[in-house]
Chain A
Amino acid sequence: MKKTTPAAKVGQNQGVQGKTKNLFGGLSKDLLLQIHELMVKSRILEERLIKIYRAGESFFWIGGPGEEAWGVPLGLLPRKGRGIEYDFFHLHYRCTPTMVALGMPMIEATRLMMNRSTDISTGGRNFSGHYCFPQWNVAPVTSPIEVQYPIACGTAHAQKRAKAKAISIVSGGDAGTAEGDFASCLVWASRRGQELPLLITVQNNRWGISTSYQGQHGEESIANRAKAFEIRARVVDGNDPIESYIAIREELDYIRRTGKPSFIEASVSRLYGHSSASGANFEKGDFDCVREFEMKLLKAGVLTDSRVKELWRQYEAEGVAAADQAR
């Protein structure tokens, strides 16, 4: 039994024709436009949340601008739904792009940001980015980093027992992999004969707050640590939505087919710094995947200037309306 979401089906049908075909990995125009739109929506949402913080209407912001190219495909490809037959998400606090791709309206992130009692994730208790959507198997995001990794082994274990060919997906940052919980996850996911249907991902932005990757890691890539447990592992350019999409699709297929875990390390940007605690200012020198992808699509004629303008206008308006409503 192999289920795919409609989005994944679009991707597998006819790709963009001619010269641009290789450029876009054979993904269809509709899919490319969908990915672009969701990336834009997620970026605008995060920038709105930062504005809410700046206006003094919230105490703290943390989120995922700079991770759209990775996070959007991660929300599009899995089997979305509630219960053990569907894929589980164990996300961290930078996964707004994945939530937007799953279908989260801006108002939900905004209520969470403004700690309203109407916030469906935490009822005004927790910080921004701490999503919890049981209807899509989105497990509660926790502030303690890395605990989601062994928890994900549990849902994967239950999924394996249910023989539903469903997968658990876990994500976190590079610095967090120093925690023992990360190692525990690799151990539990890879026991011989008892492997778990788990997609283990690490978004490597090369920072843990103010500690840089260089000073903390002896291993060449975090993916190498998964290889030591015989877990299939690779590093992808998480700033490239096409590469991310194809890699996630391949690994989800592999896990559904074999029931074994797989590991993806994605290089991403941390475009507004760690959080509002470090100012939440735009990092000018860093790769901006939304702008770059947009330019690439424009150049290839997949996207038009007027559509770009319209999208940014439309989602700006949704963001403003959401803030007004949450207020």
Chain B
Amino acid sequence: MAMGIAMAGDRCVAEIQFCDYIFNTIDLLKIAGNTLWVTHGNYSLPMVVMTPVGSGIHGSVYHSHSFDAWASRLAGWKIVMPATPLDAYGLMLSAIEDPNPVLFLKPKALMRVRGDQLIPGEPSDEKTLKSMIDAPIGDRRQWVPRWPDLEAYHVPIGKGQITRKGDQVTVVSYGRMLLVCQEAADQLKTEGFSIEVVDLRSIYPYDWGLIRESVMKTGRVLFVNEDTEVTNFGEHLAYRVVQECFYHLLARPQVLAGQNVPGIGLHPNLEDASIPQKKDIENAIRALMAEVP
């Protein structure tokens, strides 16, 4: 439907609740990605598909999937994955205006997490905002949201951001894991480590310039995400680092990702054992620091 809307020159944001259920439309996703190319430029499909992703809410097997590694194989799509409300807003506006199909992966565990920065026009008081836009539980037929008057704000697709400056190790992540990486970096900073954290924000196209520059400086890099580890997007980035930065490296590039299990189990022990935890990130950083070329 979204593809037809786009083909007719209109625009829409389609939603799939959640990405765990996206697989029965994989054929359409593939076609949306290849249409511009296969039609020799005759049809572009300016459309956005947004879908909640990832674990962290005890959502069990079908509300915890990640889709970033899968998405990175959908050539022809742009793929974004914000970690803060402001980036979510800015990337969404860019996605809507983009002439290509854009997949907007929103970490579901962050949906109610406030960021440090407000969206321009967002009331600073959380209660005020909630009273305006939170639908009541139960019968909501009479209810209408009162959207705050927001100003436009764009985050360009393909541009990452350094969220912690450092010069010993580069940690590249996105989405919910980015926040866990920041916590780990802050923790290790108190022990004297200097860690640079990169929020990739866009998975495709990704900000290779930013990664490269940081790795050239630190010589050590860790890629963190929660999708399963076999054929993981982080592996592609690690490979590229090896190819282009090899003689500047002080340690083997590392990827820390979800365990290669068919799903994320409901019991917290199962979830914690399958998804990178803060402790795992800390350990991986320590191991990188300990490696001697």
**Interface 1/0 per residue, A240-284 and B, CB below 8 Å:** 000000000000000000000000000000000000001101000
Within 8 A of A (CB), among B62-95: 62-63
The smallest beta-carbon distance between A4 and chain B, in angstroms, is 37
- Within 120-140 of B, Cβ neighbours of A (below 8 Å) are at 137-138, 140
Q: Please determine whether B270 and A125 come into contact, CB atoms closer than 8 angstroms.
A: yes
Let me know if A180 is at the binding interface, CB within 8 A: yes
Q: What's the dominant secondary structure at chain A's contact region?
A: loop
CA of A122 to CA of B270, assembled, Å: 12
Contact B24 A144 (CB under 8 A): yes
The stretch that binds A, out of B98-106, B160-168, B250-258, B260-268, is: B260-268
* A124 contacts B137, C-beta separation under 8 Å: no
The verdict on A125 contacting B265 (CB below 8 Å), with A60-B58, A143-B61, A143-B62 known, is yes
Is B60 a contact of A126 with CB atoms below 8 Å?
yes
B272: CB under 8 A from chain A?
A: no
Contact B138 A115 (CB under 8 A): no
| A70 at interface by CB-CB < 8 Å | no
Q: Quick one: which of B61, B138, B140 contacts A126, CB cutoff 8 A?
A: B61
Whether, in the assembled complex, A293 has its beta carbon less than 8 Å from a beta carbon of chain B, the answer is no
Task: Indicate whether A310 reaches chain B with its CB closer than 8 angstroms.
Answer: no
A144 touches B265 (CB 8 A): no
Whether A279 lies near B60 (C-beta < 8 A) is no
Complex Cα spacing A124 to B58, Å: 12
A147 cross-chain contacts in B, Cβ below 8 A: 24
A116 to B267, CA, bound (A): 7
Instruction: Decide yes or no whether B20 CB sits under 8 A from chain A.
Output: yes
> Do residues B20 and A281 form an inter-chain contact, with CB atoms below 8 A?
no
A181 near B: Cβ within 8 Å?
Answer: yes
User: Which residues from B are CB-within-8-Å of A143?
Assistant: 20, 60-63
Interface assignment of B239: CB less than 8 Å from any CB of chain A:
no
Q: How far, in Å, is A280 (CB) from chain B's closest CB?
A: 10
Report which of B57, B263, B270 forms a contact with A124, defined as CB distance below 8 A. B270
B21 contacts A by Cβ under 8 Å: yes
Asked whether A127 and B266 contact (CB < 8 A) given A143-B61, A144-B62, A278-B137, the answer is yes
A124 and B24: CB pair below 8 A?
no
| Residue A59 lies at the interface, judged by CB distance under 8 Å to chain B | yes
A115 & B24 in contact (Cβ 8 Å cutoff): no
Residue numbers in A under 8 Å from B270 (CB-CB)? 124-125
A residues near B138, Cβ cutoff 8 Å? 279, 281
Contact A125 B61 (CB under 8 A): yes
- A22 proximal to B (CB < 8 A): no
CB-based contact B24/A125 at 8 Å: no
In the complex, what residue of chain B is closest to A279 when comparing beta carbons?
Answer: B137
Nearest CB on B from A112, distance (A): 9
Contacts of B63 in A (CB 8 A): 143
Measured between C-beta atoms, what is the minimum distance from A46 to chain B in Å? Answer: 18
Cβ contact within 8 Å between B137 and A125? no
State the CA gap A60–B263 with chains docked (Å): 17
- The B-contacting residues of A in range 131-157, CB under 8 angstroms, are 142-144, 147
Q: Check if A180 sits within 8 Å of B24, measured CB to CB.
A: yes
| Per-residue contact bits, chain A 73-117, to B (CB 8 Å; 1 contact, 0 not) | 000000000000000000000000000000000000000000111
**What are the residues of chain A within 8 A of B140 when measuring CB–CB?**
210
- A147→B62 CA distance, assembly (Å): 13
A143-B20, A181-B24 given; A124·B62 CB < 8 A:
no
- A292 contacts the other chain (CB 8 A): no
- Assess whether B20 is in contact with A125, with CB atoms less than 8 Å apart: no
CB of A179 closer than 8 Å to a CB of B: yes
Q: Given the complex of chains A and B, what is the CA–CA distance between A281 and B270 in angstroms?
A: 29
Contact present for B60 and A125 (CB under 8 Å): yes
Tell me which of B58, B61, B62, B263 contacts A59 (CB under 8 A): B58
Q: How far is the CA of A210 from the CA of B57 in the complex (A)?
A: 21
Most chain A Cβ neighbours within 10 Å, of B59, B62, B267, B270? B267
Give min CB distance, A175 to chain B, whole Å: 12
Contact residue among A115, A142, A210, A278 (Cβ-Cβ distance under 8 Å from B267): A115
A60: chain B residues at CB < 8 Å are 58-60, 266
Closest chain B CB from A178 CB (angstroms): 11
Which chain B residue shows the least CB distance to A123? Answer: B265
* Chain A stretch 19-45: residues in CB contact (< 8 A) with chain B: none
Query: Which residues of B have CB within 8 Å of A179?
Result: 24
A281 to B138, CA, bound (A): 9
**How far is B138's CA from A54's CA once the two chains are assembled, in angstroms?**
17
Q: Which residues of B lie under 8 Å from residue A142 when comparing CB positions?
A: 62
Chain A residues in 8 Å Cβ range of B60: 59-60, 115, 125-127, 143
Closest to A125 in B: B265
Closest residue on chain B to residue A146 by CB atoms: B24
B267 touches A117 (CB 8 A): yes
Give every chain A residue within 8 A of B61 (Cβ-Cβ): 125-127, 143
12 contacts between A and B (CB under 8 A): A59-B58, A59-B266, A60-B58, A115-B267, A116-B267, A124-B265, A124-B266, A125-B60, A127-B61, A142-B62, A179-B24, A279-B137
Chain B residues close to A by CB (< 8 Å): 20-21, 23-24, 57-63, 137-138, 140, 263, 265-267, 270
Residues of A within 8 A of B (CB): 59-60, 115-117, 122-127, 142-144, 147, 179-181, 210, 278-279, 281
Q: Which 6 pairs, one residue from A and one from B, show the smallest C-beta to C-beta distance?
A: A143-B62, A125-B265, A59-B58, A124-B267, A115-B267, A115-B266
Known interface pairs A59-B60, A126-B265, A281-B138; 10 further A-B residue pairs with C-beta atoms within 8 A, sorted by A's residue number: A59-B59, A59-B266, A60-B60, A115-B265, A125-B263, A143-B61, A144-B21, A144-B24, A144-B62, A279-B138
